[in-house]
Chain A
Amino acid sequence: MVQNLLQVKNLKTRFSTDDGIVNAVDGVSFDIPRGKTFALVGESGCGKSMTALSIMKLVPKPAGKIVDGQILLDGEDLCQMPEVAMRILRGNRISMIFQEPMTSLNPVMTIGDQIRETLEYHLRLNKKAAKVSAIELLELVGIPDPEQRYSEYPHQISGGMKQRVMIAMALSGEPDLLIADEPTTALDVTIQAQILDLLRKLQKERGMAILLITHDLGIVAEMADEVAVMYAGEIVEQRDRAAFFAKPQHPYSQKLLSALPGKKKRGETLEVIRGTVPPLNRPFTNCRFANRCDSAWALCEQSIPSWTALEMGGIRCHLQEFPERRIQLVHTPGGAQNTEGAASEERALLEISNLKVHFPIQKGFFKRVVGQVKAVDGVSLKVDSGRTVALVGESGCGKTTTGKAILQLIPQSGGEILFEDEDLSRLSNKALRLRRRDFQIIFQDPYSSLNPRMLVGDIIKEGVKALKIEIENDTDDVWLDELLAQVGLPADAKHRYPHEFSGGQRQRICIARVLAVRPKLIVCDEPTSALDVSVQAQVLNLLKELQSTYGLAYLFITHDLSVVDYFAHEVAVMYLGRIVEYGTVEAVLGEPKHPYTRALLSAVPEVDPEKKRLIIRIEGDLPSPINPPQGCFFHPRCPQVMPICREEYPETTKINKNQKTNCFIYTGS
């Protein structure tokens, strides 16, 4: 048998914190063969990244320490190696790329020099030879004009480019093993597709092994040869990719897969994993997943399940010994609230026409206006009560700005926002304040959207107080308890501070704060993108339930198309401040018309590995809204570009009653 490149045996990494010793990695074993991709998946806080850092022996000291186990690279134990030897090994044989390309590069050195420096160090090249190799590397990772880019600084290039530069640096020592820690989490889907392509190409050319750490099962399905699911510091299931996605065995893996939103689950309640990952600062005497598992029985509470080898991998679950106890997942169908069909022709709750938000660029001593950032440049859409309209697009396309402009948090530069036929921008301050109770916003980051110095109860009551809303039973806060129960929080939550809650619970607090004023419309600004899959499912379920109870309308801003597919009624696809395609979910996601929508859809990794999708690659990055391209904004990246696209911006074409788009391909017909 060919020896594996990397063998990790019973690795244990501990952290000493204020709350005692945390067993971040607790007996992890796996092998990675040469030229293969091994994926570690799991929710945040499961020890994925710490496993990677342990392999690099970069565990933050002195708090963290590898206490047990072996890390064999070609049979050589890294744990026994002195730091001096490790330093040579890092970069030369094992390299790592991190999640955040924005902060991984030194902002005061040109990207070329940063690559050259690592080359000089690892390959002992002289300056000239290193520069030549650096340019070659830049070319290899697909950076156009590598000679010119060589002398540019990190702030001059985009996020996707930065990640390419990071990959180039990681490759400079020609490593045998590349550790990619959430390499595309901070990037847009179209860029993510480019980077994943690049990694695959490089792996084929160089025969590298890749340890891929991610929470996105779609990426795993596309990239990995083998999959290991981590939970609470240990691997609970390890399988061949095909076997894993065809029939996951561990209840946790099953739950993770079924918690993913998507078209097929429309109208159903998403599977959720109740509870949270248990704290790792104490020894376990039971199955770590027992408290969240539907199949758990007495044995799971009493003994730790042992590792059972399967034909391709293995699993750590008592169900393996007692298969008759396995409970099949049953999809609970949601209420029949999903009244599908065309939007009503009655008056809309919210109607935006030709909304513009421009930010002036000021320069010089007298703050002369030298240009405009056209963040939102003529957006029109309509939201009816009880319906969800999704606003989709890559980062920087003006989605969030649109949301904030609707809330009147940013002054608009033009257009109208009619809320129940009342133009919000024309209201006086006082009238606007009274109107505010009808439309609210939920933000993306549950950590920065709650004031850390206020009690949860005060946070929720704030809007009611500010808007002087009369509520029955106001004196004994019965309504508050009811509201907390409604969003699934205990009543004693009101006496606690936000930092005591997890991300998902915080997002529930945000929802409760908004619900307290009984709005008719809620703008949801990526409410689930900072959450784990299982928690995302909980929040989406809650939002859906609230919609059916109160007939709420949502303007759902997101970049995640599977959420849109599951959740929304209508979709507006935005590109560079303008809507390029608009229609019902079935129409837009089923038969996308605009080339951008098609590219966006095809770039989303699919969980079903058998389904080979046709990937439409779009090159390059989103242009700057300061200086949008002439003609159609999308033409520099469009695979179907025509001469007219470079001349003028296309008019809106109505494809049918459910769909319209702005593209010259359809103007003729």
Chain B
Amino acid sequence: MLFSFQAVFLWTDRLIYLLLFLVVGLTFYISRHEHLLAPWRQIRRRPLAMSALVVLLFYIGIGLLDSVHFRKALPTTDAAQEIQYDPEVLSLLDVILGPLKNNVERSYSAPLASQAFSKEMIEAADGSQHRAYPRLKFGGAHLETPETERTSDIFSIVNKRLFSGLLIWSLISMLFVLILAQRHRKPAKEMLGNIWRGETQTAWRSILFTAALLFLLVGVLAPLSVKYHLFGTDKVGQDVLYMALKGIRTGLVIGTLTTLVMLPFGIFLGIAAGYFRGKTDDAIQYLYTTLSSVPGVLLIASAVLILQIYMDKNAESFASITERADIRLMFLCLILGLTGWIGLCRLLRGETLKLREMEYVQAARALGVGPGRIITHHILPNVMHIVLIALVLDFSGLVLAEAVLSYVGVGVDPAMISWGNMINSARLELAREPVVWWSLTAAFVFMFVLVLSANVFSDAVRDAFDPRLRGR
């Protein structure tokens, strides 16, 4: 009964699966429609965008691993006893990152350190006490004399793993080139040459190059982070790298689920206002101008407070801390979505006002086609590119918004690991002397890479879908 577990579906998990399902469905639909596929072909050719996509996929992969939750069965002494499950909800990522999660120190330690950050009273074997930097429980614990061995040990690990990372990458790339060659019915050597010279329709060269970088990074850093704390530890001794990796899911959830909430409002109200005009338009405009005049942070703060009170009163309906934190995260997405649809709605209203005067819409009206069908068949497909552009551009803004809101204190639950919470706690760490800088740095680097690649990718999407730039 060692591997028995109980699957747990958190609310955000379900929504992520729904989103994944939608994305897969949409991809399938697009791949079968030539005119929808054309702009994506253009993106596929852009090397920078494809590099960004590889990085994004890496993040998304980690986020998805972190979205498969379960509870382990507790070891039972008696066979007849009913299986009890661990109250702690784990994710696949937690299992993979087991060493990182469980190697908890007592308090702060610097990146790659073997000793704690601050001096403590240490009792020697002979009973005498003196103040010194104690050895860490896990970081560099395999070393005899860390003062002399540490640097050379780190270098030797890096040297060894550099090679193995490259090896794995080249094996995978080779396989990949072979598959490509098969598909294009070319000899593998020619295919390789094409990729090397950047002559392929898809920017394979930059994809493989980015993948190589990622493999190298993972190959080198993974063994290091098992033996040391790569980004150090935080106040309660948790590995900062682990926290930064866990923060990925939170960031992605905020960035994507919010848009899921936003879309129906933005699309439905925007098109309705633009198409029906008159009273409908007045009402919708009134609604969104009012909503956009209320300060966003105030609205979010009050909504989060209301939820907090509700959860305190009904504590029994939330089984674990994880579930509590999850509900709060979802509520945050909801409220961000409810305040965030205005920009999209305005854009779509304007575009619909233009489209409804297009001659094909007029022709449809002349043919007696009703408004419902005109909206779904003539207007909606022709504004979808705007929706897509708005979504990818909003994504990075929302990831950043999470950090800001958590910093202000109305963001995700304090118990939830997120970049915003990490930055929030760094407020005090930066006031220390000497400064504890690694929490902030780790959160910053992870967030920066995500937002940068999202921005680069969304720029490419915008260019590809912008009719004015088409055919460049």
Contacts from A to B (Cβ < 8 Å): 17-18, 404, 407, 409, 433-434, 436-437, 440-441, 443-445, 448-454, 462-463, 466-467, 497, 499, 510, 513, 517
Encode contact with A along B365-383: 1 for CB under 8 Å, 0 otherwise: 1111110010001100110
The answer to whether B359 and A448 have CB atoms under 8 Å apart is yes
Specify which chain B residues have a CB less than 8 angstroms from the CB of A450 in the assembled complex.
360
Report Cα–Cα, A497/B38, bound state, in Å.
Answer: 12
Report Cα–Cα, A513/B378, bound state, in Å.
Answer: 15
Q: Is B364 an interface residue (CB 8 A)?
A: yes
With A452-B35, A454-B377 in contact, is A440–B359 under 8 Å at CB?
no
Specify which chain B residues have a CB less than 8 angstroms from the CB of A17 in the assembled complex.
471
Q: Which 10 A-B pairs have the closest CB atoms?
A: A463-B367, A449-B359, A453-B381, A443-B359, A436-B368, A466-B369, A433-B368, A451-B360, A466-B368, A448-B359
The answer to whether A466 and B366 have CB atoms under 8 Å apart is no
Specify which chain B residues have a CB less than 8 angstroms from the CB of A466 in the assembled complex.
364, 367-370, 373
Q: Is B57 an interface residue (CB 8 A)?
A: no
Closest to B357 in A: A448
Tell me, rounded to whole Å, the shortest Cβ–Cβ distance linking A525 to chain B: 9
Report Cα–Cα, A523/B368, bound state, in Å.
Answer: 16
Closest to B42 in A: A18
Closest to A453 in B: B381
B368, B377, B382, B471: which has the most chain A beta carbons within 10 Å?
B368
The answer to whether A409 and B362 have CB atoms under 8 Å apart is yes
Pick the residue among B36, B362, B368 that contacts A441 (CB under 8 A).
B362
The answer to whether B35 and A497 have CB atoms under 8 Å apart is yes
Report Cα–Cα, A224/B368, bound state, in Å.
Answer: 49
With A453-B382, A499-B35 in contact, is A440–B367 under 8 Å at CB?
yes
The answer to whether B360 and A449 have CB atoms under 8 Å apart is yes
Besides the known contacts A440-B366, A443-B362, 20 further A-B residue pairs in the complex with CB atoms under 8 A apart:
A409-B365, A433-B368, A433-B370, A436-B367, A436-B368, A443-B363, A444-B359, A449-B359, A450-B360, A451-B382, A452-B35, A452-B382, A453-B35, A453-B382, A463-B368, A466-B364, A466-B367, A466-B373, A513-B363, A517-B367
Q: Is B312 an interface residue (CB 8 A)?
A: no
Specify which chain B residues have a CB less than 8 angstroms from the CB of A436 in the assembled complex.
366-368
Q: Is B305 an interface residue (CB 8 A)?
A: no
With A433-B368, A440-B366, A440-B367 in contact, is A497–B360 under 8 Å at CB?
no
Q: Is B190 an interface residue (CB 8 A)?
A: no
The answer to whether A462 and B358 have CB atoms under 8 Å apart is no
User: Of residues 87 to 110 in B, which have CB atoms within 8 Å of A's CB atoms?
Assistant: none
Specify which chain B residues have a CB less than 8 angstroms from the CB of A444 in the assembled complex.
359
The answer to whether B359 and A467 have CB atoms under 8 Å apart is no
- Cross-chain pairs A/B with CB under 8 angstroms, 24 sampled: A404-B362, A409-B365, A436-B367, A436-B368, A441-B363, A443-B359, A443-B362, A449-B358, A450-B360, A451-B364, A451-B382, A452-B382, A453-B35, A453-B381, A453-B382, A454-B377, A454-B381, A462-B364, A463-B367, A463-B368, A463-B369, A466-B368, A497-B34, A517-B367
Report Cα–Cα, A454/B360, bound state, in Å.
Answer: 11
User: Of residues 79 to 132 in B, which have CB atoms within 8 Å of A's CB atoms?
Assistant: none
With A453-B35, A454-B377, A497-B35 in contact, is A448–B360 under 8 Å at CB?
yes
Report Cα–Cα, A409/B359, bound state, in Å.
Answer: 11
Report Cα–Cα, A452/B377, bound state, in Å.
Answer: 11
The answer to whether B366 and A407 have CB atoms under 8 Å apart is yes
Specify which chain B residues have a CB less than 8 angstroms from the CB of A433 in the assembled complex.
368, 370
The answer to whether B35 and A449 have CB atoms under 8 Å apart is no
B34, B359, B370: which has the most chain A beta carbons within 10 Å?
B359
With A433-B368, A466-B373 in contact, is A449–B363 under 8 Å at CB?
yes
Tell me, rounded to whole Å, the shortest Cβ–Cβ distance linking A419 to chain B: 13
With A448-B360, A451-B360, A453-B35 in contact, is A467–B366 under 8 Å at CB?
no
Specify which chain B residues have a CB less than 8 angstroms from the CB of A463 in the assembled complex.
367-369
Tell me, rounded to whole Å, the shortest Cβ–Cβ distance linking B30 to chain A: 12
Specify which chain A residues have a CB less than 8 angstroms from the CB of B381 in the assembled complex.
451, 453-454
Closest to A497 in B: B35
Report Cα–Cα, A462/B369, bound state, in Å.
Answer: 8
Report Cα–Cα, A452/B362, bound state, in Å.
Answer: 14
With A451-B360, A451-B382, A454-B377 in contact, is A441–B35 under 8 Å at CB?
no
Specify which chain B residues have a CB less than 8 angstroms from the CB of A18 in the assembled complex.
471
Tell me, rounded to whole Å, the shortest Cβ–Cβ distance linking A641 to chain B: 38
Report Cα–Cα, A499/B370, bound state, in Å.
Answer: 25
The answer to whether A467 and B368 have CB atoms under 8 Å apart is yes
